[in-house]
């Protein structure tokens, strides 16, 4: 992971986009309290593909049939997540 200043990014955008294309994570620090993560975006990130819509439909059908896990407390939620 590379952490760079916003000025460094602005001055060398092509260089850092190449790093991202090669799978590196880039964090752009802006001032003391703000930072941004840069990542490449694929077609799947921008649109709902037919496969994604089918998965959503299956999940809705499962929920309607009551095929899910109900967690009523924070502790139940943590226990469920730890079981995965």
Name the residue range of residue 31's domain: 2-38
51 shares its domain with 23: no
7 shares its domain with 33: yes
HSE-up (13 A, CA, CB side) for residue 21? 6
3-state per-residue secondary structure call for the chain: CEEEEHHHHHHCHHHHHHHHHCCCCEEEEECCCEEEEECCCCHHHHCCCHHHHHHHHHHHHHHHCCCCCCCCCHHHHHHHHHHC
9 shares its domain with 27: yes
Domain count, the chain: 2
Give pLDDT tens digits for 23-42: 999 999 999 899 999 988 88
pLDDT at 46 over 80: no
**pTM for the predicted model, two decimal places:** 0.52
47 shares its domain with 74: yes
32 shares its domain with 48: no
47 shares its domain with 68: yes
54 shares its domain with 75: yes
């Amino acid at each position: 992971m590379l952490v760079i200043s916003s000025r460094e990014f602005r001055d060398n955008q092509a260089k850092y986009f190449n790093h991202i294309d090669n799978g590196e994570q880039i964090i752009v620090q802006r001032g003391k309290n703000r930072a941004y993560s840069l990542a490449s975006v694929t077609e799947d990130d921008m649109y709902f593909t037919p496969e994604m819509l089918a998965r959503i439909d299956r999940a809705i059908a499962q929920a309607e049939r009551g095929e899910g896990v109900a967690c009523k407390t924070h502790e139940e939620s943590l226990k469920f997540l730890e079981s995965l």
